[in-house]
A and B are shown apart, each in its own frame.
Chain A
Amino acid sequence: MKIQQISLFVENKPGHLTAPVRLLAEEGVDIRSLYLADTQQFGIVRMIVSDWQKAAQILETHGFAVKVTEVLAVEVADRPGGLTGILTVLDGMDINIEYMYAFPYSRTNEAILIFRFSDLDRAMAQLQAAGINLVTSEELLPK
């Protein structure tokens, strides 16, 4: 149920996002979601892409520092209280959200939340036990 996310290091300077994104486009890799975490000096680009293995390989061969990270994609109703419902499930478990981002799921009236937890396996088990739908990469990225 975990899905693979591609992260890459970029400097926080004009034009620095263009090169990696163009490379992926040229190789026909679709970016389903992209989130940029930035500091004043550098940023980390996190992406859910149509083919993570291909994306990682392309970027690595072009000299980028790339990391493949497992994250959870959680389906949630796109309405007030949606996120609260998810987070409440994890209350009292001492699991930290290292980062998260969200994007709308165009097929339904749902949103997808991408989570990186300090303890991914425990978080996954707990969310599943609470009946929360974890989206697989096949569902998220139909080939």
Chain B
Amino acid sequence: MSSIMELAATLETSASDCHPASVPDYTPLAELRDLQLQRLQAVVTLAWKQVKLFRSRMDGLGLAPEDIRSLDDVARLPLTQKSDLRDTYPFGLFASPMKDVVRLHASSGTTGKPIVVAYTQKDIDVWTSVLVRCFAGCGLHRGDIMQIAYGYGLFTGGLGAHYGAEGLGATVVPTSGGHADRQIMLMKDFGVTAMCCTPTYFLHLIDRAVELGVDLKELPLRAGVFGAEPWTESMRKHIEKMSNLEAFDIYGLSEIIGPGVGCECRRHQGLHIFEDHFYPEIVDPETGAPLEDGSEGELVLTTLSKQAMPMIRYRTRDITRILPGPCECGRTLRRIDRIGRRSDDMLIIRGVNVFPSQVESALLEIEGTLPHYQIVLTRVQGLDQMEVQVEVTPQMFNDKIGALQGLQTRIQSALDHILGIRVRVALVEANSIERSEGKAKRVIDRRTA
């Protein structure tokens, strides 16, 4: 232990950033690049050997694992995207036999079927370790009481953060999502010092606390680790002002590992990517061509140590840039800017991924035809609300109230089922949804920061 502390002390970092788990964050650059290359070669070899899709794509490019001789060669590898997970549903991209897989998670795909991700025990350990580094970087440690209000279940948020907080040695309060009043009561009664949830859910808790007469500023809360959806600086200011905690942005996606791909440190100048496990690139979202550090483009990630489901050059569809230069915190890990937008039409609602195409497949399933529809997003008391407005066509119209309410309920349950979140369905008059040049605008986003 003393040697680690000595090592950390030589790194000229502030005392609050020094946590034993964070040592890899400060790996000297040359050593980090060597480690990345070794791991890249190993993961490419694994994917080529075990995953048919990767092998056939590499063969198609006349590329063998031995051709990866430097980190620059990563750009020669084929890109992977979400549809590849859908096309190989459920287990087609697994590189480990099921007997070695200890966990499956799933998140929504672009159509009806979810996408599935797998973990070996070592993958879980890596996942836990990066989350420990996230939390340590936020200044959390043993003795902190951390309330995890991300959803537990197939969604990676809840269990991921849970294992990370336990790994840190913190006291975990696994509340999962929902039940705002109870969340607030436990924050208060247990003396919770850190919250993990989506930023919009925390906004909701802030508003609810005001209604309940609980002043969050009076509580021992000192950090909030918020992620699973894009948020803004103005939201951060509001959250910090209303609850007197330090708000951190955490990044991740199930396809890569879940939360913990990257996280802010206490400098709050971008999110450090845990580059020893996830190799970041920025590419042109149109052409896929690699872009220099500093240019804005689509984030592409390669898992460097994943066993059960290695991902080679996965297109995240998140638009950001790699921030040039080192962070004042002393970490050698490169940073990305906060995610502001996406290159596809994916919506993130209360932390859940939603594609307009999912709404279409649900509507098609019910009526056999596709009525005009529109998705309207609003934020009520900090919580995202999704309303699907469906035009009542003459074919769908029935002059009995019960029949129309039945239709509304059927659409509602189909959407709940396919999206995994509660939405509101509104039947609207035929031709009432505005069409621009014959094409309806599918999404109206009225959520403001």
Contacts and interface: CB of A to CB of B under 8 A. Distances in A.
B428 A65 contact: no
A10 B399 CA distance: 11
Interface residues of B, number: 18
B427 A9 contact: yes
A116 B396 CA distance: 19
B140 interface: no
A69 interface: yes
Nearest to B431: A63
Q: Determine chain A's interface SS by DSSP, over half rule.
A: strand
A115 to B, nearest CB: 13
A11 B428 contact: yes
A10 to B, nearest CB: 6
Interface stretch (B23-31, B61-69, B159-167, B400-408): B400-408
Q: Determine chain B's interface SS by DSSP, over half rule.
A: loop
A103 interface: no
A65 B400 contact: no
Contacts of B427: 9, 11, 41-42
A95 B93 CA distance: 58
B7 interface: no
A10 B429 CA distance: 6
A37 interface: yes
B397 interface: yes
Contacts of B438: none
Interface in B391-428: 392-394, 396-401, 404-405, 426-428
B431 A9 contact: no
B405 A67 contact: no
B432 interface: yes
A46 B399 CA distance: 8
Contacts of A42: 392, 404, 427-428
B289 interface: no
Nearest to A43: B401
B400 A98 contact: yes
Interface size class of A (residues with CB under 8 A): 20 to 34
Contacts of B432: 11
A63 B396 CA distance: 14
B426 A67 contact: no
B430 interface: yes
Nearest to B397: A65
Nearest to A7: B399
Given A9-B392, A39-B405, A64 B400 contact: no
A66 interface: yes
Given A11-B429, A16-B429, A65 B394 contact: yes
Interface in A81-99: 98-99
Given A9-B427, A11-B429, A41-B427, A60 B394 contact: yes
A99 B400 contact: yes
Contact of B396 (A10, A11, A39, A65): A65
Complex A-B, nearest 10 residue pairs according to Cβ-Cβ distance, in ascending order:
A7-B399, A63-B431, A65-B397, A65-B430, A9-B392, A65-B394, A65-B392, A67-B399, A37-B401, A9-B397
Given A9-B392, A11-B427, 8 more contacts: A9-B404, A9-B430, A11-B429, A41-B427, A63-B430, A65-B430, A67-B398, A69-B399
